[in-house]
Amino acid sequence: MTTKNPIQRFYSIIPAGGVGSRLWPLSRASAPKFLHDLTGSGQTLLQDTFDRLVPFAGSERILVVTGNAHADAVREQIESLSEANLVLESSAKDSTAAIATAAAILMKREPDVIIGSFAADHVITDQKAFEAAVREAIEVAATGKIVTIGIKPTEASVAFGYIKTGDVIDHTAEATAREVVKFVEKPNIARAKKYVDSGNYLWNAGMFIAPAALLLEQLAKSEPAMHEAIMKIAENWDTPDRKAVVASLWPALKKVAIDYSVAEPAAEAGLVAVVPADFEWHDVGDFAAIAELQSQGRKGNLAVLGNAKVLADSSSGILVSDTDRLIALIGVEDIIVVDTPDALLVTTKEHAQRVKSLVDALKATGHSEVL
Amino acid sequence: MTTKNPIQRFYSIIPAGGVGSRLWPLSRASAPKFLHDLTGSGQTLLQDTFDRLVPFAGSERILVVTGNAHADAVREQIESLSEANLVLESSAKDSTAAIATAAAILMKREPDVIIGSFAADHVITDQKAFEAAVREAIEVAATGKIVTIGIKPTEASVAFGYIKTGDVIDHTAEATAREVVKFVEKPNIARAKKYVDSGNYLWNAGMFIAPAALLLEQLAKSEPAMHEAIMKIAENWDTPDRKAVVASLWPALKKVAIDYSVAEPAAEAGLVAVVPADFEWHDVGDFAAIAELQSQGRKGNLAVLGNAKVLADSSSGILVSDTDRLIALIGVEDIIVVDTPDALLVTTKEHAQRVKSLVDALKATGHSEVL
């Protein structure tokens, strides 16, 4: 069917969506978290993600899916991105629409393409281990599997979904990939402990590597109407009819996570494999996570992100600044201060998760101008 | 010597100076605390002070001494202030220069004037009790005394100086004025307790009521050079030579508090009396004091000053806003947040006094643009 190496068939997809409510007021509908430098690396999460994928097949084989509203910001942040590699959504439709549409467009251009989908807002620092895992995943995908990367848990986290692993697929020396028995949703703490203690569970980092054809085949089985619409969009994407077809089909697309539409049913069908990996991986869910992550720009026990002039005395926590104001902290411990031009948040690490409910309250009280 | 009633001779002086470092970043060199509404009354401290003094001799007999830099703000805030009642200092020279110059100018215009000096940044809510105390002080001053108002201590505060009281001066029924034995500086806590327990000590609220001639006589004894310069300035104040004389004499004036130059030596000479008063009195020294003071605009246990849109969840303390940004607080207790266009302070009530050292640090690190 194809004479190319698996790696020659590989194409990365970066679905860049999600507002990141827990990172308000830094992360906004107008400037979601992937557009920010949350690690102090000097690059945004999106740029870091892009750079991480270049080694597999070059910068020409990375496609970004994002909302229309972020088109200019993405173009500005990734200068090497061609227009052919930028898929703009007219409205947010969750991960199935984003990833499957990208996969279908790529498959139309290149029928034997193997796609890999990697979220725009994750942090991975061990590039070597990441590359090794993805390269193995690509090899396994080429054998006709949907492959995910499973992170070896370092604690009984309740913040992530888990992957129950089965038998090793290939008993040669280097291969580590296993069958996936099933995906399980975010557990409670007791169950999370059981999972971790068993040694049979990995964190689901939401990365999928698969032949586009196989992924879309699975979608056709579980969401046939969606599959049909997406195939029609892809069919017309690189033609003058794109706009009209998208306008007629996109708005009605179902909002569903790819975990439900593809990963879980494919796992039940025995079509999913997982490459276990033990690199550090963060999904940067809230400001407490950023504080943990932050190693540069520290002032004592205070992590500082952004260009604020900071004067801190006996203070710890994290200060995120999107202004050039002077910020003075005195005697505040484990504090979170997020300073933006039109909104200021002051909370503590302990309450970092509650930022989401605050954003909900802002919606409810008609403060959408700052969301 | 004079046929007027004591109250007909009365003229108020408001020395409006002092940056209020402990109230940074709200209070600045360019906008010191008396120019702000720190009580939520809808008026600034200066306006409140002015209004408090009107009942004695009308708004035409209140003189404000302030720095050149604040002239426009003062004129704007007190529309009824005539230019004759505005004394502008070309540089800050502490309270002796401010009050004695004002007294000398008034005495030149009106030799039998009794002046009363009241700081621009104090808070007094019981107008009736205040008026009663000052009216008695004016009567006593007319008998040839420098009279101060002593506040009955409600706690062993180390933030104020104390006045040791002696005998009652006049044994008629209503009179409460006593001799002042001596003024003592801010004590340590052990000494403060002893003072309060003894019942012989009052807080020094820095108010002085005296015939201008007597006050200046005392200054002539303790600071003759200063007295001479100030008399020359006053002599020329209402003439075309004001500018030249001020330019030649003001810069060399000694910086000394009126407590040292006049009050203490006069007390030693047996010339000072005190009217004990038990109205509530605040010198609004720091943000913790403002939080205590603040009764309006509360959101639960959070005092809010200014026009910020505030969303507070499980938070207490004080929020002072000089911007119209949205401020969200989650789970922060006894917090102090002061939000201004170019600087933000986050601290706690416990550390409110440390703001002054922060301002010193800002000076030292060359951040004078925000001071």
B249 near A CB under 8 A: no
Contact (CB<8Å) B362/A311 = yes
Contacts with B248 (C-beta within 8 Å, 6 or more apart), sequence order: none
User: Does A89 have pLDDT greater than 70?
Assistant: yes
Termini Cα distance of chain A: 50
What pLDDT, on the 0 to 100 scale, is given for residue A173? 63
**Residue A14 near residue A63, CB atoms below 8 Å:** yes
Residue A277 belongs to some domain of the structure: yes
Residue B344: closest CA among chain A residues belongs to which residue?
A327
Beta-strand pair B114-117/B201-211: antiparallel
User: Does A40 have pLDDT greater than 90?
Assistant: no
Range of the structural domain that residue A312 is part of: 287-370
Same structural domain for residues B172 and B243? yes
Same structural domain for residues B220 and B316? no
Give the minimum alpha-carbon distance from B29 to chain A in angstroms, rounded to a whole number.
Answer: 16
Helical H segments across A30-159, by residue range = 45-57, 71-77, 94-109, 127-141
Give the minimum alpha-carbon distance from B201 to chain A in angstroms, rounded to a whole number.
Answer: 35
Same structural domain for residues B94 and B175? yes
Neighbour-count burial of B243, counting CB atoms closer than 10 A to its CB (0-12 exposed, 13-18 middle, 19+ buried): exposed
User: Does B174 have pLDDT greater than 90?
Assistant: no
Same structural domain for residues B44 and B137? yes
Same structural domain for residues B82 and B155? yes
The radius of gyration of chain B's CA atoms, rounded to the nearest angstrom, is: 21
**Residue A255 near residue A94, CB atoms below 8 Å:** yes
Residue A80 belongs to some domain of the structure: yes
Strand runs (DSSP E) across B191-277, as ranges? 201-211, 272-277
Contacts with B10 (C-beta within 8 Å, 6 or more apart), sequence order: B56, B57, B61, B113, B114, B115, B116, B138
Cβ pairs A/B, distance under 8 A: 118
Average pLDDT over all residues of chain A? 92
Residue B270 belongs to some domain of the structure: yes
Same structural domain for residues A76 and A162? yes
**Residue A277 near residue A152, CB atoms below 8 Å:** yes
Interface test with A, best of B26, B310, B330 (most A CBs within 10 A): B330
φ and ψ at residue A67, rounded to 5 degrees: -75, 150
Contact list in B for residue A313 (CB cut-off 8 A) is 354, 357-358, 361
Same structural domain for residues A172 and A318? no
Contact (CB<8Å) A346/B327 = yes
- Roughly what angle, to the nearest 10 degrees, separates helices B94-109 and B212-222? 130
φ and ψ at residue B273, rounded to 5 degrees: -120, 160
What pLDDT, on the 0 to 100 scale, is given for residue A41? 84
User: Does B298 have pLDDT greater than 80?
Assistant: no
User: Does B20 have pLDDT greater than 90?
Assistant: no
- Closest by CA to A34, choosing from A11, A21, A16, A13, is A16
A302 near B CB under 8 A: no
In this complex, the residue of B326, B329, B351 whose CB is nearest that of residue A370 is B326
Contact (CB<8Å) A332/B347 = yes
Residue whose structure tokens are 């173009």: A75
Torsion angle of alpha carbons A155, A156, A158, A160, nearest 10°?
Answer: 60
Residue A359: closest CA among chain B residues belongs to which residue?
B328
Same structural domain for residues A276 and A363? no
Residue B327: closest CA among chain A residues belongs to which residue?
A344
| pLDDT tens string B304-350 | 888 888 989 999 999 999 898 999 999 999 999 999 999 999 999 99
Please provide the DSSP assignment of A125-157 as one string: --HHHHHHHHHHHHHHHTTT-EEEEEEPPSS--
Same structural domain for residues B228 and B332? no
B350 near A CB under 8 A: yes
| Number of domains chain B contains | 2
Residue A209 belongs to some domain of the structure: yes
In this complex, the residue of A328, A331, A348 whose CB is nearest that of residue B332 is A348
A356 near B CB under 8 A: no
- Is the bond leading into B251 cis (omega within 30 degrees of zero)? no
Neighbour tally for B280: CB within 10 Å: 13
Same structural domain for residues B207 and B171? yes
Mean pLDDT in residue range A326-345: 94
> Distance between CA atoms of B33 and B275, rounded to whole angstroms?
27
Contact list in B for residue A325 (CB cut-off 8 A) is 341-344
- Is the bond leading into B25 cis (omega within 30 degrees of zero)? yes
Neighbour tally for A63: CB within 10 Å: 22
Last residue of a domain, one of A282, A313, A329: A282
Residue B340: closest CA among chain A residues belongs to which residue?
A325
What pLDDT, on the 0 to 100 scale, is given for residue B369? 81
User: Does A71 have pLDDT greater than 70?
Assistant: yes
> Distance between CA atoms of B288 and A206, rounded to whole angstroms?
49
- Closest by CA to A170, choosing from A142, A197, A150, is A142
Angle CA(A81)–CA(A83)–CA(A85) in degrees, nearest 5?
A: 60
Residue A147 pLDDT level (bands cut at 50, 70, 90) = very high
SS3 B58: coil
User: Does A296 have pLDDT greater than 90?
Assistant: no
Neighbour tally for B305: CB within 10 Å: 24
- Closest by CA to B98, choosing from B195, B215, B191, B179, is B215
Please provide the DSSP assignment of A229-274 as one string: HHHHHHHHHTSTTHHHHHHHHGGG-----HIIIIIHHHHHTT-EEE
> Distance between CA atoms of A271 and B150, rounded to whole angstroms?
87
For the ranges A112-121, A236-245, B201-210, B292-301, the lowest mean pLDDT is seen at: B292-301
Residue B344 belongs to some domain of the structure: yes
Residue A2 belongs to some domain of the structure: no
> Distance between CA atoms of B17 and B95, rounded to whole angstroms?
8
Residue B324: closest CA among chain A residues belongs to which residue?
A342
Contact (CB<8Å) B332/A335 = yes
Residue whose structure tokens are 């979608």: A219
Contact (CB<8Å) B328/A337 = no
A363 near B CB under 8 A: no
Residue B132 belongs to some domain of the structure: yes
Distances (CA, A) of A294 to A37, A241, A280, B221: 11, 46, 14, 65
Residue B334 belongs to some domain of the structure: yes
Contact list in B for residue A286 (CB cut-off 8 A) is none
Contact (CB<8Å) B345/A330 = yes
Contact (CB<8Å) A325/B343 = yes
B288 near A CB under 8 A: no
Query: What is the ipTM for the molecules in this complex?
Result: 0.79
The radius of gyration of chain A's CA atoms, rounded to the nearest angstrom, is: 21
In this complex, the residue of B325, B347, B355 whose CB is nearest that of residue A342 is B325
Last residue of a domain, one of B256, B282, B308: B282
SS3 B325: coil
What pLDDT, on the 0 to 100 scale, is given for residue A171? 63
Residue A323: closest CA among chain B residues belongs to which residue?
B342
B337 near A CB under 8 A: yes
**Residue B108 near residue B33, CB atoms below 8 Å:** no
> Distance between CA atoms of B14 and B101, rounded to whole angstroms?
12
Please provide the DSSP assignment of A197-223 as one string: HHT-EEEEEEEEEEEHHHHHHHHHHH-
Neighbour tally for A174: CB within 10 Å: 8
- Roughly what angle, to the nearest 10 degrees, separates helices A224-237 and A94-109? 50
Mean pLDDT in residue range B235-248: 97
Range with the largest mean pLDDT of A165-169, A322-326, B211-215: B211-215
> Distance between CA atoms of A247 and A225, rounded to whole angstroms?
16
Last residue of a domain, one of A246, A266, A282: A282
In this complex, the residue of A313, A358, A362 whose CB is nearest that of residue B358 is A313
Same structural domain for residues A309 and A324? yes
Q: What residues pair up with B66 in beta bridges, in sequence order?
A: B16, B88
What pLDDT, on the 0 to 100 scale, is given for residue A286? 85
Where residue A366 falls (left for φ over 0; alpha for ψ -120 to 50; beta otherwise) is: left
Distances (CA, A) of A187 to A50, A184, A281: 31, 8, 19
Mean pLDDT in residue range B170-197: 90
Same structural domain for residues B263 and B363? no
| pLDDT tens string A259-272 | 999 999 999 999 99
Contact list in A for residue B351 (CB cut-off 8 A) is 314, 330-331
Strand runs (DSSP E) across chain B, as ranges? 10-16, 62-67, 86-89, 114-117, 123-124, 146-151, 162-168, 178-184, 201-211, 272-277, 281-282, 298-299, 302-305, 309-313, 317-321, 326-330, 335-339, 343-348
**Residue A151 near residue A130, CB atoms below 8 Å:** no
The CATH number covering residue B70 comes to 3.90.550.10
Neighbour-count burial of A132, counting CB atoms closer than 10 A to its CB (0-12 exposed, 13-18 middle, 19+ buried): middle
